[in-house]
Amino acid sequence: MAIWQYTFELIPKDDLEIIGRGNYKGEVDYNNIRFWRNGDYEVGYFDTLTGLLSKGKSWSNDIVLYGNEEKTCIKFLIEDDKISEVVIRIDFREDYSKLLSEIIEFCGLHALLLLDEEHNVLPLNQTSIISLIKNSIQYIHLQNLMKNEDS
């Protein structure tokens, strides 16, 4: 992840009990949780979101990528021919308001949860999410770097 990106994860609302709002022991344990297990979701299910980005080329055959990994992108990790992870990276140097609006609407319509980088469930509210991004370490760090370059 680049310092100009904020990363979100999408999970089905039905999988909330798996994470138990933090009942796992660290990042390794969290990474071993199998979300998306209760459905046969295919990448095409997300056409509303992926249609906003061009299909990209991933470094792995197990990742379906839309957008550019160094910019805004949506990544689908595929295991056993099924989606096992959906990650969205927002490049906050660009206008991401349309994509964010579509993500929020899509999550609401399809009973999906949006998690932040600390695996907290986010409210499906654009103002709250923009505030989260603007208060993130990477956003503040990039702003400071840009200020120093201007000096």
pLDDT digits (tens, 9 = 90+) for 125-134: 999 999 999 9
For the chain, what is the mean pLDDT?
86
**Burial category of 6 from C-beta neighbours within 10 Å (exposed 0-12, middle 13-18, buried 19 and up):** buried
Q: What six digits make up the tokens of 38?
A: 């209760």
**pTM of the full predicted structure?**
0.86
What pLDDT sits at residue 19?
Answer: 59
Section 3-12 average pLDDT: 92
pLDDT recorded at residue 72: 96
How many domains, in total, are found in the chain? 1
pLDDT at 30: 54
Strands 5-12 and 63-67: unpaired
pLDDT band at 135 (very low <50, low <70, confident <90, very high): very high
pLDDT of res. 33: 62
Q: At residue 27, does pLDDT exceed 80? A: no
User: For residue 28, what pLDDT is reported?
Assistant: 42
Q: How confident is the model at residue 84 (pLDDT cuts 50, 70, 90)?
A: confident
For the packed helices 126-134 and 97-109, what is the interaxial angle rounded to 10 degrees? 130
The residues, ordered by sequence, that sit 6+ positions from 48 with a Cβ below 8 Å of its Cβ are 102, 106
Q: Which of 22-26, 100-104, 115-119, 144-148 has the lowest mean pLDDT?
A: 22-26
In angstroms, the CA 91 to CA 5 distance is: 4
Residue 36 structural domain? 5-150
